[in-house]
Structure 1
Amino acid sequence: MDFIDENFNYTTQKLLGDITLSGINYQYGYGKNVLNNVSTTIKVGEKLAIVGMSGSGKSTLVKMLVKFFDPTSGELEFNGYPSNSISKSSLRSYINYVPQIPYIFSGTIEENLKLGGREGVTLKDINRACEVAMIKNDIENMPLGINTKLDENASILSEGQKQRITIARALLSPAKVLIFDESTSSLDTITEKKIIEQLIGMKDKTIIFVVHRLSIAKKAARILVLDSGEIVEEGSHSELLAKKGYYYKLLKA
């Protein structure tokens, strides 16, 4: 199920292309590098998983793609445009980062879904996004449906429901690249599996999953394996299993 945005503007359109990282290094202050000589190309429409132990640099790497951090050294380009030539607002219209801890504000469910959404979002668009995120039935069962008011803690929602609302919100954004950083961690495995399968089936989106659960990673076309800030392996699930290297050890751990 693809989401076509007819209002995708030229400023963001020119970024539509491969994302290239060349010799990326990053360090906090004067500490040791968190990322070491990271080089890879993320193709348009690719479904990529990034895995590794806690502290391996996974989240730092993807946050760099939305300018939460700038590389200490190395080159980061979007369709050939250096990241330092692109404004944060343009980049964050092109790439939507969904963190593990969902952000919900005081307002209706509809207002929360439309936060940062593209222009002209219709009820049909909302329903489609909620179906993919598997939150549509939950919303319909609430007292006022989509008009149900949430407090700033969304206390009437479970953590899993909050995560699914933020996934639907990302699908309603103008972004062509979606980053899910442990964004399904509070979901049961069956719901998570169904959502991941639908996201992977979207041909018009580049999707990056940062995961601990390797059951998600194996569904991606390509997997980057990080250890101590370095890409130590990359390939498909079957290719990495055949190598019986670091990824194989993570899977068997």
Structure 2
Amino acid sequence: NSEATAYHKIDHEFVTYLEKSFVYAKTEAVQNAIKSLLQLSLNVVILWVGAQLVMTNKISVGQLITYNALLGFFIDPLQNIINLQTKLQQASVANNRLNEVYLVDSEFKDSHQMTEKITPNSSLVADHITYKYGFGAPAIDDVSLTITAGEKIALVGISGSGKSTLVKLLVNFFQPESGTISLGPTPLANLDKHELRAHINYLPQEPFIFSGSIMDNLLLGAKPGTTQEDIIRAVEIAEIKDDIEKMSQGFGTELAESGNISGGQKQRIALARAILADSPVLILDESTSNLDVLTEKKIIDNLMKLTEKTIIFVAHRLTISQRVDRILTMQSGKIIEDGTHDTLLKAGGFYASLFNH
């Protein structure tokens, strides 16, 4: 059934393309006809009027031939004006596409004006924040929380409960409609975004792999002065070292954006890159979803040993939630439970029902 649906869709698009191609060809033929008609008409007018003037001895035959020869210098600009129509249409389409990019305000436009600095070992505090997409129901509804430095936290809940939206607000990808988010005493809105992104590293579920070698990808955004020992440590934490060493050129293996490695390998390379950035706060938005349970467990064990880092896990697999310091359970944009794995199980609430099912 899906094949037939796809065929009908492609067939409809192809027919539409043919119809537009015919219209374009017809318009082009009409334009060429107009140009030819214009040229011939002017030739006839010049010769007719000129012949009348020659017969009345007002101009000579040589002058008539000269006028006829000079006619081309007048006709060519008129033909070029007619040809401008299609070029103007192409330019209009290109302009609209470019404006989709150029007219978007840069989030860093006012960033250079921010002078406040980030206090080391600061807590991340959200105070009654609310956010919604468009005119729908709030994706985040009056959420307050405090995350202390070095804490390991898991955000759990069903799909659409607001977990990813909340962590994106914590990185200031967009600002809450009400309430404030602060890093220590300073609101995120008052911090330079470059400095904020260096302090809080967000790793999405779909990792970005760039064309270049594995080493190039690992060092992209790495802290200055990164050593070979730092790289080895990062790939060991991400459990990707053995995979890289098995590749034909090791760390020099070329990668493509389209992907010549598995989804799990991409996620682990992206995780190693995030570790090399050495940000005090690391947010993992289902960043191990493509891994098998055993490999994921090893990575979580390695990450839990990074006592100096604050790590926020957005997780569907509740095996992660058993290892963290605190669990925040979300439902319909609200934090409905906050506690450890054992306390939430004993409470018998929403988290317990998720875990038991």
Could you tell me the TM-score, scaled by structure 1's length? 0.93
Q: State whether structure 2 residue 261 is matched by structure 1 residue 120.
A: no
Task: State how 1:2-151 maps to structure 2 within 5 Å.
Answer: 13-14=118-119, 16-151=121-256
Q: For 2:117 and 2:281, how far apart are their aligned partners in 1?
A: 11
User: How much has 1:87 moved relative to structure 2?
Assistant: 2.0
Q: Is the 8 A contact 2:285 2:314 kept in 1?
A: yes
What one-letter code is carried by the residue in structure 2 that aligns with 1:186? N
Find 1:167's aligned residue among 261, 266, 271: 271
Please name the residue that 1:189 is paired with.
Answer: 293
> How far does the alpha carbon of each residue in 1:1-48 deviate from its partner, in whole angstroms, 9 at most, with x for none?
xxxxxxxxx976525310011101101122211111101100000000
Please name the residue that 2:47 is paired with.
Answer: none
SS of the equivalent of 2:342 reads: helix
Please name the residue that 1:251 is paired with.
Answer: 355
Please name the residue that 1:199 is paired with.
Answer: 303
Name structure 2 gaps, 5 residues minimum: 1-114
Identical aligned residues as a percent: 50
What one-letter code is carried by the residue in structure 2 that aligns with 1:213? R
Q: For 2:185 and 2:120, how far apart are their aligned partners in 1?
A: 8
Q: Which has the higher helix share?
A: 2
User: How much has 1:154 moved relative to structure 2?
Assistant: 2.6
Question: Which structure is higher in RCO with an 8 Å CA cutoff and minimum separation 6?
Answer: 1
Find 2:334's aligned residue among 224, 227, 230: 230
Q: How many residues are aligned here?
A: 243
Max Rg structure: 2
Q: Is the 8 A contact 1:51 1:58 kept in 2?
A: yes
Please name the residue that 1:217 is paired with.
Answer: 321
Q: For 2:334 and 2:305, how far apart are their aligned partners in 1?
A: 29
Q: CA RMSD in A?
A: 1.3
Moved over 4 A (4+): 10-13
Please name the residue that 2:27 is paired with.
Answer: none
Q: Is the 8 A contact 1:15 1:94 kept in 2?
A: no
Please name the residue that 1:3 is paired with.
Answer: none
Could you tell me the TM-score, scaled by structure 2's length? 0.67
Q: Is the 8 A contact 1:96 1:178 kept in 2?
A: yes
Please name the residue that 1:239 is paired with.
Answer: 343
Name structure 1 gaps, 5 residues minimum: 1-9
